[in-house]
Amino acid sequence: MSKVLIIGGGAAGMMAGVFAARNHHEVHILEKNEKLGKKVFITGKGRCNVANACDTEELFPAVMSNPKFLYSGFYSFGPQDVMNFFEEAGVPLKVERGNRVFPQSDHSSDIIRALERELKKAGAKVHLHTTVKEIVKKPEAEKVTGVILEDGTFMEGDAVIVATGGFSYQSTGSTGDGYRFARELGLKVTDISPSLVPLKTKEDYIPKLQGLSLKNTGLTIKNGKKVLYEDFGEMMFTHFGVTGPMILSASAHIGAKLAKAENGELCAYLDLKPALTKEQLDARILREFETGQNKQFKNVIGVLFPSSLTPVMLELGGIPAEKKIHDISREERQHFVDLVKAFPFTITGMGEFKEAIITKGGVSVKEINPGTMESKKISGLYFAGEVLDLDAVTGGYNLQIAWSTAYLAAQAIQ
């Protein structure tokens, strides 16, 4: 039996704690907050998209950084294992669009409570208001001996699992301490950047649409003529740009490309009627025109869009709002069709860490054994969750990374 110190009582720390304690180790979770799982609480807008009910091999394309490193983790503790774990722990689950798994109750607190119950049942000890300042290793050998807390207390341990999370949404406790621990111990940490973030835009008509949410929209992002990213889904306009699931996923793909683009800008286009081809859309508009030949343009196109979008479509459409339908030329109509199929805006920047769902970069996976999550250099030192250089798109994949890596670390401890 080993004494296991787990730094961080978030998703990875709690899951590692359950399995290490079930394996009869003496487990101590050291969490600086007043409660466990503060970030888990806000996941999935408070509903917690706890996993993605896809086949294990389908997880890999959703991982943006170092997917191959996760082979052992995903195959040892995959989506079905996560779902079984929570169902057995008393949380009935449901699967929604895109295989997203949520608690049936729609309450993330049920996920946290289930983990707390399992920790207690297995005999793990939870120390709240406990900040770890430093990880200690033997001076003469590459082996951890314990941790030093903020008040200077030394806590001895045979194994230390670093589950301190990333650097985003710092109000939840993830302030990047794990990166510091790793560097102090001579491990490599890759550059970090915010990912799954809203995007900032240039045009002044975007803030006018603030609050407008579009469900079925196509998105194309280009650098000059080169298409960088295409997707379809849900998005929202904000006072500074665009957000929503489709935009957050796009941010994970275009971050580096935006940084390298000329003027630091990329062009983006929304297809506001993706179910219709240009010809079908033109026919649809013509049908509207036929019913109101004497009406003004602004009074006819309203049926095609949400009301807050209509003034902006009029502004960009090139057809005077008061123009009578029978005076609108074919070219004007074609131009309007083009606008609906490619509503333009310019991406000028990414959101910041404080609003990022995930941190890209972290403790280099080259330093870590992928089958055990143990440092290759320092024995008894393990890493799990977002602190590692691993990140995925939205859909329950990031929590899956936390659960899988935590499971491997816990099972590896002798």
Per CB under 6 A, the segment of 70-78, 110-118, 170-178, 314-322 that binds ligand FAD is 170-178
Kindly state the tokens that stand for 98.
């895109």
Q: How many CB atoms lie within 10 A of CB 330?
A: 9
Per CB under 6 A, the segment of 138-146, 205-213, 304-312, 384-392 that binds ligand FAD is 384-392
Per CB under 6 A, the segment of 66-74, 75-83, 290-298, 395-403 that binds ligand FAD is 395-403
Alpha helices in 10-139 (DSSP H): 11-22, 38-42, 71-76, 79-88, 108-122
Q: Any contact of residue 70 with ligand FAD (CB under 6 A)?
A: no
Within positions 123 to 162, which residues make up the interface with ligand FAD, using CB under 6 A? 131-132
Within positions 30 to 59, which residues make up the interface with ligand FAD, using CB under 6 A? 30-33, 38-40, 42-44, 48-49
Closer residue to ligand FAD, CB minimum distance, 314 or 399: 399
Given 165, 218, 351, 361, the residue binding ligand FAD (CB under 6 A): 165
Closer residue to ligand FAD, CB minimum distance, 271 or 391: 391
The CB-of-344 to ligand FAD minimum distance in angstroms stands at 29
Asked if 274 contacts 246 with a C-beta cutoff of 8 angstroms, the reply is: no
Closer residue to ligand FAD, CB minimum distance, 345 or 397: 397
Residues 6+ apart with CB under 8 A from 43: 49, 50, 108, 399
CB-based burial, 137-147: b 16+ in 10 Å, e otherwise? beeeeeebbbb
Kindly state the tokens that stand for 333.
């109509």
Q: Is 33 helix (H, G, I), strand (E, B) or coil?
A: coil
Asked if 354 contacts 170 with a C-beta cutoff of 8 angstroms, the reply is: yes
Kindly state the tokens that stand for 393.
């798109």
The CB-of-115 to ligand FAD minimum distance in angstroms stands at 11
Q: Any contact of residue 10 with ligand FAD (CB under 6 A)?
A: yes
Q: Is 224 exposed, middle or buried (0-12, 13-18, 19+ CB in 10 A)?
A: exposed
Q: How far apart are CA 361 and CA 387, in angstroms?
A: 8
Closer residue to ligand FAD, CB minimum distance, 319 or 409: 409
Closer residue to ligand FAD, CB minimum distance, 229 or 353: 353
Q: How far apart are CA 102 and CA 95, in angstroms?
A: 6
Helix (H) and strand (E) counts in the chain: 12, 21
Given 20, 93, 115, 399, the residue binding ligand FAD (CB under 6 A): 399
Kindly state the tokens that stand for 19.
């399995």
Q: Any contact of residue 351 with ligand FAD (CB under 6 A)?
A: no
Closer residue to ligand FAD, CB minimum distance, 7 or 192: 7
Given 12, 254, 301, 408, the residue binding ligand FAD (CB under 6 A): 12
Given 146, 198, 233, 385, the residue binding ligand FAD (CB under 6 A): 385
Q: How far apart are CA 206 and CA 342, in angstroms?
A: 15
Q: Any contact of residue 357 with ligand FAD (CB under 6 A)?
A: yes
Per CB under 6 A, the segment of 272-280, 304-312, 346-354, 394-402 that binds ligand FAD is 394-402
Cα maximum dimension of the chain:
90
- Look-up of token digits 């929209």: 217
Cα–Cα separations (whole angstroms), residue 6 to 26, 32, 200, 400: 11, 12, 38, 19
Using CB under 6 A as the binding criterion, the count of chain residues that bind ligand FAD stands at 40
Closer residue to ligand FAD, CB minimum distance, 48 or 309: 48
The CB-of-109 to ligand FAD minimum distance in angstroms stands at 14
Q: Any contact of residue 163 with ligand FAD (CB under 6 A)?
A: yes
The CB-of-67 to ligand FAD minimum distance in angstroms stands at 15
Alpha helices in 130-277 (DSSP H): 177-184, 245-260
- Look-up of token digits 């008894």: 380
Per CB under 6 A, the segment of 17-25, 83-91, 168-176, 198-206 that binds ligand FAD is 168-176
What residue ranges bind ligand FAD (CB under 6 A)?
A: 7-13, 30-33, 38-40, 42-44, 48-49, 131-132, 163-165, 168-169, 172-174, 177, 357-358, 385-387, 396-399, 402
